[in-house]
């Protein structure tokens, strides 16, 4: 497997999905607005997405993909035993999902009340809409869980692009729903969106079935049986779900503190800043992490421990090559970026300054966020989901303490800064444990690259600091001028970084060409 080419594929599809999601948000604001109907739909959409993040994609993939990949690696690429394991998992998973979905649909009213308190400041109609929309959206959980199973299989055999493309279908379905069913008012449009969520789940399900059939993977329905491997999978899912839950709790606490103790707008400043900060993470970290997990699992399953360590070293080298300049740009040029992208209409100059401050603080932790995605597969590939959970919980406590300490002197910037600090604690702890266990050692090539990357990034920062005062006045002009100013700013910084990296010998043109061809190095 070519890690760079695979990461580029996943990252490119993720970028398409993020762009479609941006269009979806624009249409949502136009046709539904930010009133009662929008609130009700977003609450309803949050519920299946919450369980999806905890179990379907996060915990399930972390447990299933390494087990499936190790089985395939041990069988020298033969999929017979791996497919039987997947069928056993499906036999147990499907009835549980059906029962859980039925219970959640039936209990939608108390579930929404527990999440919202019944919207005490709103009319009873808003609560009723949220309950109605929840019943329409919740079947998405069942469908996306089955998509995760099939996507995990395809990832394990190197067909990453299929699963990476699936989220695009969700955004396209919601966009189509708003374009064709927006004439009945905001409530009718929001109800159409709720229906489109489950319809998108059907599309994603059919998409993965088609891809599996193309790969000659046909899963048969069997009688549920808790065999040894299925029990082991269930035992691994629990800790992984707890780790994902720690992240969700972290976000919930940060938002609650901002809403309770900070002036109006603080939650929005953090939201917009985090959306921009998450873009490099989605394009780089998730892409590399997705490609890395089955590769490490297969190499370890085949007994190639040295090759697995080289793979992880090259992955870290790759993410730092891409992430360090992104973090530096978002930190140093936060204000022109925010002003050029967001400052218009009701988003005022003061909002740009506050959001840019949060973005700069968040971005200090961007390399750590990405390193977590690269280091965690080193545990999951060895079927250890407990240690990353312990570290995640510890980092959650660090974040909570940082929030409480920094919120008073720094306001919303303190919350963003504590998030960055907690991410570095998480990444360093993962690295230290892997090193102590002998599962990861920084090789000579990565050691040489680290200081060169730091120097190249520093040179880019100097260029950006010189350009920001010159470009900033143009980021409040017309859309075309804003876009041109940002292209000049980011483009100049990017060129400076690439030239510095080339002169310092971080990469050669031949190496880059090899990585993006099928004859490139597999690691």
Q: Cα(first)–Cα(last) distance of the chain, in Å? A: 7
**HEC sequence for 198-209:** HHHHHHHHHHHH
**Segment 10-23 mean pLDDT:** 74
Instruction: Give exposure, 312-342, as e/b (b: 16+ Cβ within 10 Å).
Output: bbbbbbbbbbbbbbbbbbbbbbbbbbbbbbb
Question: Among the ranges 137-146, 147-156, 239-248, 508-517, which has the highest mean pLDDT value?
Answer: 137-146
Q: Say if residues 291 and 65 touch (Cβ distance below 8 Å).
A: no
Q: Which residue has the higher pLDDT, 99 or 247?
A: 99
Q: Say if residues 35 and 185 touch (Cβ distance below 8 Å).
A: no
Identify the DSSP state of 122.
S
Rounded-to-integer distance, Cα 6 and Cα 2, Å: 6
Q: Flag the least confident range among 75-79, 175-179, 389-393.
A: 75-79
Identify the DSSP state of 220.
P
- Angle (CA) 37 41 42, round 5°: 115
For position 435, what pLDDT does the model report?
86
pTM, 2 dp: 0.65
**Look-up of token digits 């594929």:** 9
Closest CA to 438 of 302, 289, 308, 292: 308
Alpha carbon 181 to chain centroid, angstroms: 30
Q: Say if residues 516 and 8 touch (Cβ distance below 8 Å).
A: yes
For position 521, what pLDDT does the model report?
41
Q: Is the pLDDT of residue 467 over 60?
A: yes
For position 475, what pLDDT does the model report?
84
For position 302, what pLDDT does the model report?
67
Task: Kindly state the percentage of the chain with pLDDT values over 90.
Answer: 15
User: What average pLDDT does the chain have?
Assistant: 79
**Segment 462-470 mean pLDDT:** 92
For position 2, what pLDDT does the model report?
53
Rounded-to-integer distance, Cα 123 and Cα 473, Å: 45
Burial class (CB in 10 A: 0-12, 13-18, 19+), 358: buried
Q: Is the pLDDT of residue 505 over 60?
A: yes
Beta carbons within 8 Å of 492's beta carbon, 6+ residues apart: 463, 464, 467
SS3 191: helix
For position 111, what pLDDT does the model report?
81
Q: Say if residues 332 and 351 touch (Cβ distance below 8 Å).
A: no
311-365 pLDDT, tens digit per residue, is 778 778 888 888 888 899 999 988 998 888 777 655 678 888 888 999 999 999 8
For position 252, what pLDDT does the model report?
59
50-74 pLDDT, tens digit per residue, is 666 666 556 677 677 778 777 776 7
**Segment 186-199 mean pLDDT:** 90
For position 30, what pLDDT does the model report?
66
Q: Which residue has the higher pLDDT, 178 or 47?
A: 178
For position 324, what pLDDT does the model report?
87
Q: Is the pLDDT of residue 35 over 60?
A: no
For position 517, what pLDDT does the model report?
45
Q: Is the pLDDT of residue 13 over 90?
A: no
Q: Is the pLDDT of residue 245 over 70?
A: no
For position 519, what pLDDT does the model report?
42
For position 6, what pLDDT does the model report?
62
Rounded-to-integer distance, Cα 9 and Cα 37, Å: 37
Distances in whole angstroms, Cα of residue 356 to Cα of each of 338, 352, 391, 439, 476: 6, 6, 30, 39, 15
For position 518, what pLDDT does the model report?
42
Confidence of residue 119 (pLDDT cuts 50, 70, 90): low
Rounded-to-integer distance, Cα 355 and Cα 454, Å: 27
Confidence of residue 464 (pLDDT cuts 50, 70, 90): very high
For position 123, what pLDDT does the model report?
66
Burial class (CB in 10 A: 0-12, 13-18, 19+), 272: buried
Q: Which residue has the higher pLDDT, 75 or 398?
A: 398
Distances in whole angstroms, Cα of residue 447 to Cα of each of 280, 498, 508: 23, 19, 17
For position 192, what pLDDT does the model report?
92
For position 195, what pLDDT does the model report?
93
Rounded-to-integer distance, Cα 377 and Cα 390, Å: 15
Task: Kindly state the percentage of the chain with pLDDT values over 70.
Answer: 76
Rounded to the nearest 10°, the torsion over CA 137, 236, 250, 289 is -90
For position 522, what pLDDT does the model report?
39
For position 18, what pLDDT does the model report?
75
Q: Which residue has the higher pLDDT, 438 or 286?
A: 438
Question: Among the ranges 116-130, 202-216, 270-284, 370-384, which has the highest mean pLDDT value?
Answer: 202-216
Burial class (CB in 10 A: 0-12, 13-18, 19+), 194: buried
Q: Is the pLDDT of residue 130 over 60?
A: yes
3-state helix, strand, coil in the chain (%, to 5): 85, 0, 15
**Segment 163-172 mean pLDDT:** 87
């Amino acid at each position: 497997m070519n890690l760079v080419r695979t990461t580029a594929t996943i990252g490119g599809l993720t970028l398409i999905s993020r762009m479609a999601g941006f269009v979806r948000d624009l249409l949502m604001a136009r046709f539904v607005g930010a009133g009662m109907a929008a609130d009700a739909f977003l609450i309803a959409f949050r519920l299946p997405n919450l369980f999806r993040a905890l179990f379907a994609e996060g915990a399930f993939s972390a447990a299933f993909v390494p087990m499936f990949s190790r089985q395939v690696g041990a069988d020298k690429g033969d999929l017979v035993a791996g497919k039987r394991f997947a069928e056993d998992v499906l036999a147990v998973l499907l009835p549980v999902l059906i029962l859980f979905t039925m219970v959640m649909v039936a209990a939608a009213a108390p579930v929404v009340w527990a999440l919202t308190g019944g919207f005490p400041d709103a009319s009873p109609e808003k609560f009723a809409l949220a309950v109605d929309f929840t019943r329409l959206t919740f079947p998405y959980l069942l469908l996306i869980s089955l998509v995760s199973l099939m996507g995990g299989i395809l990832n394990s055999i190197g067909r990453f692009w299929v699963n990476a493309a699936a989220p695009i279908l969700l955004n396209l379905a919601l966009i189509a729903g708003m374009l064709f069913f927006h004439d009945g008012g905001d409530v009718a449009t929001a109800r159409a969106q709720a229906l489109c969520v489950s319809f998108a789940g059907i599309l994603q399900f059919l998409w993965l079935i088609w891809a599996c059939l193309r790969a000659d993977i046909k899963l048969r329905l069997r009688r549920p049986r808790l065999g040894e491997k299925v029990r082991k999978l269930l035992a691994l899912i629990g800790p992984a779900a707890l780790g994902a839950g720690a992240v969700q709790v972290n976000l919930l606490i940060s938002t609650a503190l901002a809403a309770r103790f900070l002036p109006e707008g603080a939650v929005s400043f953090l939201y917009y800043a985090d959306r921009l900060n998450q873009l490099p993470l989605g394009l780089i970290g998730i892409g590399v992490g997705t490609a890395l997990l089955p590769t490490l699992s297969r190499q370890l399953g085949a007994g190639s421990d040295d090759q697995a360590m080289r793979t992880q070293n090259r992955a870290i080298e790759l993410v730092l090559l891409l992430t360090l300049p992104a973090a530096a740009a978002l930190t140093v040029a936060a204000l022109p970026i925010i002003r050029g992208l967001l400052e218009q209409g009701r988003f005022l100059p003061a909002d740009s300054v506050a959001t840019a401050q949060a973005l700069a603080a968040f971005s200090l932790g961007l390399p750590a966020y990405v390193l977590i995605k690269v280091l965690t597969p080193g545990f999951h590939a060895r079927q250890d989901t407990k240690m990353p959970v312990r570290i995640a919980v510890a980092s959650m406590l660090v974040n909570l303490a940082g929030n409480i300490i920094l919120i008073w002197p720094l306001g919303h910037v303190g919350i963003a800064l504590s998030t960055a600090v907690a991410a570095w604690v998480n990444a360093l702890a993962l690295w230290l444990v892997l090193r102590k266990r002998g599962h990861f050692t920084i090789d000579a090539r990565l050691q040489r690259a680290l200081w060169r990357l730091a120097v190249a990034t520093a040179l880019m920062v100097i260029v950006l600091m010189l350009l920001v005062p010159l470009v900033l006045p143009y980021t409040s002009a017309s859309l075309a001028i804003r876009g041109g100013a940002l292209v000049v700013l980011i483009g100049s910084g990017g060129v400076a970084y690439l030239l510095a990296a080339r002169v310092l010998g971080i990469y050669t043109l031949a190496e880059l060409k090899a990585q993006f061809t099928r004859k490139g190095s597999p690691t």
